[in-house]
Structure 1
Amino acid sequence: MKNDIKLIDYLATRRSVPAFQMCEPGPSTAELEQILTLAVRVPDHGKIAPWRFVVYRGADRARIGEALLAMALEKNPELSEEMIGVERARFTRAPVVIGVISTAGPHVKIPEWEQLMSAGAVCLNLLMAANAHGYVANWLTEWFAYDEKAYPLLGIKPGEKVAGFIHIGSTTFPVTERPRPALSDVVTWVGGEG
């Protein structure tokens, strides 16, 4: 993606790329800091930042994949060779994976639902910021986002939840469009004609 593209053109063509289609290079540390700086510019009622990031890079991604594979085999010892490979590669498909961790909880003024939506907005901003830096990205959760036994391995604290794992990298695959909902299926108009 070119940095000089107009925002309206970008929004009309924004597309996630599957993590298994990603490759090196990924963003540098300086680029990641810029991407994260852009990502936090989201609606955040009360300015409480009800989310945080865990950045997974380098050899630790393979270590995490091996540990996730062990957990998956514990749950299902009959995993196929294909699924063993899938589990092992969960964090190595992309050069960088960013965990968006929701820290939402009871607050005297800010509903927890609004805090959760802010974490979702951070996920989308990460996708767009990665694209703005010339990288492809994908927002995934997968089984370990919902398995608290995996949380210590992933740097997630008790009481936190995973909003998503944002995979960021490059690709050699063509970026293709997918079907989008028809407005008539998702829009209700209330009020007069414009």
Structure 2
Amino acid sequence: MNTHTSTPEHRAPWNKGKLIGQKAPLRISEIWAIRVRLEIYERRRDLALFNLAIDSKLRGCDLVQLRVQDVCHGNHVASRATVMQQKTKHPVQFGLTAGTRKSLVEWISSAGLRQNDYLFPSRIGDSPHISNRQYARIVHQWFEEIGLDPTAYSTHTLRRTKPTLIYRRTKNLRAVQLLLGYTRLESTVRYLGIEVDDALEMAEQTDAESAPSTVHRIRY
């Protein structure tokens, strides 16, 4: 008779030592810190990838699978592009700033890419384009290089950055919903953490300890 009893394997929680929850968007100063560094060191691919990630607001799975023809009309990078999202199966449109178009032109030309080529081909032979994991490693490297804690940020940081800046400037939640390609407004609120941010902002603007220096008494 087999009297051996197996004991359950104790595995460490998947999130042990990791920060979970929404990742903070980049500040404008941090955007420029990364951008300038990539420009100085002439890292054309990374600069094009960073700029496009900020402008497009695409999930990593959609960004890495973009082809040259998705952002180009002939030999020119378009000012607007439309991409079908893998997760939602809904199209989302985004604009490309002059700086992003310039970095894309320089990258496409230097890499000798053609219309049907992936915009960010992999340097690993068995993959036609950079993988989500490769993209995450590249992004974490950017954060480390400017002194940010990579555990506090992720590829979703880049997706959230521009919509967050737009919302803070305009308070137009519907516009942000369209930019992110969400079908429900509630999803946009949860993704940006808007309710929490607004509550904190109001709390910071309200000085509970301040009071009028002079108390006006009612005279009868």
Under TM normalisation by the shorter chain, which class is it?
under 0.3
Give the structure with the larger strand fraction.
Answer: 1
Give the structure with the larger helix fraction.
Answer: 2
Scaled by the length of structure 2, the TM-score of the pair is 0.25
Larger radius of gyration: 2
Higher relative contact order (CA 8 A, sep 6+): 1
